[in-house]
Amino acid sequence: MNTNRSMVRLAALWGMLFFLTNCGGVQQPLKEVLKKQTPYEKYEQALKNVKLENTALGNDWIVAGRKALQDSILVSLPFKETGYFAADKPIAVSYLVSLKRGERLVVGVEVRSMQATQVFVDLFEAPIPTSQSPVHLASGDTSNTVIDFESREDRLYLIRLQPELLRSGNYTITMTREPSLAFPVQGKDSRNISSFWGADRDAGKRRHEGIDIFAKKGTPAIAATDGYIAAVNENRLGGKVVWLQDTKRQQRLYYAHLDEQLVRPGQKVIAGDTLGLIGNTGNARTTAPHLHFGIYTFGIGAIDPLPAVRVGSPAPPNVTAPMERLGTWARTSGKKGIVRISPDKKSSPLSEILKHTPVYILGGVRDWYKVSLPDNTIGYIEAKQIENAEKPIRTQKIASLTQILDQPAASAGFLATVEPGTQLPVLASFGSFLYVKTPDGIAGWLPIS
> Which residue of 81, 212, 304, 382 would you call a contact of Zn ion, by CB under 5 A?
212
Query: How buried is residue 83: exposed, middle or buried, by Cβ count under 10 Å (0-12/13-18/19+)?
Result: buried
Q: Could you say which DSSP state residue 282 is in?
A: G
Give the C-alpha separation, 177 to 82, whole Å: 19
Q: Report whether 422 contacts 397 (CB < 8 A).
A: yes
Q: Report whether 293 contacts 275 (CB < 8 A).
A: no
Least Å distance, CB 195 to Zn ion, is 6
226-to-48, 230, 244, 273 alpha-carbon distances in Å: 45, 12, 9, 9
Least Å distance, CB 306 to Zn ion, is 13
Taking CB under 5 A as the binding criterion, the range among 138-146, 159-167, 211-219, 333-341 that sits at the site for Zn ion is 211-219
Q: Which residue's CB is nearer to Zn ion, number 177 or number 292?
A: 292
Taking CB under 5 A as the binding criterion, the range among 172-180, 205-213, 241-249, 259-267 that sits at the site for Zn ion is 205-213
Question: Which of 147, 129, 131, 150 is CA-nearest to residue 139?
Answer: 147
Q: Which residue's CB is nearer to Zn ion, number 164 or number 212?
A: 212
Q: Report whether 72 contacts 308 (CB < 8 A).
A: no
Q: Which residue's CB is nearer to Zn ion, number 212 or number 406?
A: 212
Three-state DSSP at 58 gives: helix
Taking CB under 5 A as the binding criterion, the range among 173-181, 210-218, 359-367, 391-399 that sits at the site for Zn ion is 210-218
Q: Which residue's CB is nearer to Zn ion, number 238 or number 444?
A: 238
Least Å distance, CB 330 to Zn ion, is 55
Q: Which residue's CB is nearer to Zn ion, number 212 or number 246?
A: 212
Q: Which residue's CB is nearer to Zn ion, number 209 or number 406?
A: 209
Residue 209 interacting with Zn ion (CB under 5 A): no
Which parts of 14-132 are beta strand (E)?
Answer: 79-85, 93-99, 103-113, 119-126
Task: Give the residue closest to Zn ion by C-beta.
Answer: 292
Q: Give how many residues touch Zn ion by CB under 5 A.
A: 2
Q: Which residue's CB is nearer to Zn ion, number 120 or number 293?
A: 293
Least Å distance, CB 263 to Zn ion, is 20
Least Å distance, CB 193 to Zn ion, is 10
Least Å distance, CB 294 to Zn ion, is 8
Q: Which residue's CB is nearer to Zn ion, number 239 or number 444?
A: 239
Taking CB under 5 A as the binding criterion, the range among 3-11, 89-97, 292-300, 414-422 that sits at the site for Zn ion is 292-300
Question: Which of 393, 404, 351, 406 is CA-nearest to residue 373?
Answer: 351
Give the C-alpha separation, 231 to 256, whole Å: 12
Least Å distance, CB 210 to Zn ion, is 5
Pairing of strands 251-261, 239-246: antiparallel
Q: Which residue's CB is nearer to Zn ion, number 44 or number 212?
A: 212
Least Å distance, CB 282 to Zn ion, is 10
Q: Report whether 429 contacts 373 (CB < 8 A).
A: no
Taking CB under 5 A as the binding criterion, the range among 212-220, 237-245, 263-271, 272-280 that sits at the site for Zn ion is 212-220
Omega within 30 of 0 (cis) for the link into 127: yes
> Which residue of 104, 249, 292, 340 would you call a contact of Zn ion, by CB under 5 A?
292
Q: Which residue's CB is nearer to Zn ion, number 302 or number 412?
A: 302
Which parts of 53-102 are beta strand (E)?
Answer: 79-85, 93-99
Query: How buried is residue 27: exposed, middle or buried, by Cβ count under 10 Å (0-12/13-18/19+)?
Result: exposed
Residues in the chain: 449
Least Å distance, CB 256 to Zn ion, is 7
Give the C-alpha separation, 152 to 308, whole Å: 10
Taking CB under 5 A as the binding criterion, the range among 63-71, 101-109, 110-118, 290-298 that sits at the site for Zn ion is 290-298
What's the one-letter identity of residue 73?
I
Least Å distance, CB 297 to Zn ion, is 18
The residues binding Zn ion (CB under 5 A) are: 212, 292
